[in-house]
Amino acid sequence: MLTTFSATMDDVTLTRFSPAAFVPGALPYHRLARSTDAYRWWRPLVVGIVGVVFYGIFIVGCVIAMLIARVISPDIGTALDAFTRGEAVLDLSNPAVFAFTLLSLIYLLPSLFIAQLLAGTKPVGLLSSVAGRVRWGLLLRCLGIAAVVFALSQGVSSAIAAFSGDGIPAPLGISEAALPLALTLLLVPFQAAAEEYVFRGYLMQTIGGWLRHPLFAILLPVPLFVIAHGYDPLGQTSVAVFAIVAGWLTWRTGGLEAAIGLHIVNNVSVFGLGAFGLVDANASSLGIIDLIITIATTLVYATVVVWLFRRGRRAATRQPGMPG
């Protein structure tokens, strides 16, 4: 659906959307960095530098934890030695490597929040949504929608595999799957949220502070997100579509909840099935049928979320100067 844009210095007026979602004169999500008079074009750059410093501090803590783990368990020590040499960095079937890999991503979250608190736009909750906080009801609904859509998608994938004659591997026993499944449920939500706060939060608002049109904020972070995922061309196409849809949902709903819900359920699905040996969690390639199913799943999810969001007539903008 095409949208007509007209812009002033600090607002975007959109036609053909629900008036309850976009209010003339108010700031959409990607422009929230400009919500206070304290905004300066260079502030987001300072936030990035401070965030990198704190991320380095957290990584040092991770290294110390690795050293302690080596003392506690020789098996963990062996896996972590391979991890530090780069030999097992992609072996996410190894619980120790999986945990430390996800932790290294989760550390992005506190690093960004501390940096935003020290040098960025206040309140810090504006990174979450136009409401200045996480809209938990919306997040829970998005998680539920994503769970249903991904379950149907997995059913379609299984049916296609059975029809084509591809065998479905026998699942591992619960005793073998328990640890990786527990790590998945414990760590993946924070890992997925951390990536969304960086790519759809910090980067979108940084670019949106400099450039008015939302397409810049949605599209410019996409190459960085794709590069951060080491897949083949079809896999990177899937990642790019995911990033574009997640960015559009963030702008369209005025917050990160829809993107976080999609990201969490996607990753829990992959690593959860991987815990039972039903998929290869280390897979870096994607078939054309899998690509089509993945893109269709993402688009169906986005369609349902936006439809419900419009029915609820929620605000997707924020008036400048509103208190947190």
Residues 222 and 261 grouped into a single domain: yes
Residues 160 and 180 grouped into a single domain: yes
Task: Give the number of other Cβ atoms within 10 Å of residue 53's Cβ.
Answer: 12
Residues 243 and 313 grouped into a single domain: yes
323 lies in some domain: no
324 lies in some domain: no
Residues 114 and 220 grouped into a single domain: no
End residue of a domain, out of 67, 86, 120: 120
What whole-number distance in Å separates Cα of residue 257 and Cα of residue 130? Answer: 11
Residues 268 and 238 grouped into a single domain: yes
* Torsions phi, psi for 318 (to 5 deg): -140, 135
Residues 106 and 166 grouped into a single domain: no
196 lies in some domain: yes
In order along its 324 residues, the chain shows pLDDT tens digits of 333 333 333 333 343 444 456 766 799 999 999 988 889 999 999 999 999 999 999 988 877 877 777 777 666 666 566 555 555 445 677 787 888 889 999 999 999 999 999 999 889 999 999 999 999 999 999 999 999 999 999 999 888 877 876 666 767 778 888 999 999 999 999 999 999 999 999 999 999 999 999 999 999 999 999 999 888 999 999 999 999 999 999 999 999 999 999 999 999 999 999 888 888 887 878 889 999 999 999 999 999 999 999 998 888 999 876 766
180 lies in some domain: yes
162 lies in some domain: yes
Residue ranges making up the domain that contains 25: 5-39+123-318
Residues 56 and 178 grouped into a single domain: no
49 lies in some domain: yes
194 lies in some domain: yes
> What's the sign of the alpha-carbon dihedral 172, 178, 183, 188?
positive
Task: Determine if the pTM surpasses 0.75.
Answer: yes
End residue of a domain, out of 105, 120, 135: 120
What whole-number distance in Å separates Cα of residue 258 and Cα of residue 183? Answer: 23
* Half-sphere exposure of residue 214: CA atoms within 13 angstroms, side-chain side: 28
Residue 28 β-bridge partners:
317
End residue of a domain, out of 120, 152, 176: 120
> What's the sign of the alpha-carbon dihedral 119, 123, 126, 130?
negative
Residues 56 and 28 grouped into a single domain: no
261 lies in some domain: yes
For the chain, the domain total comes to 2
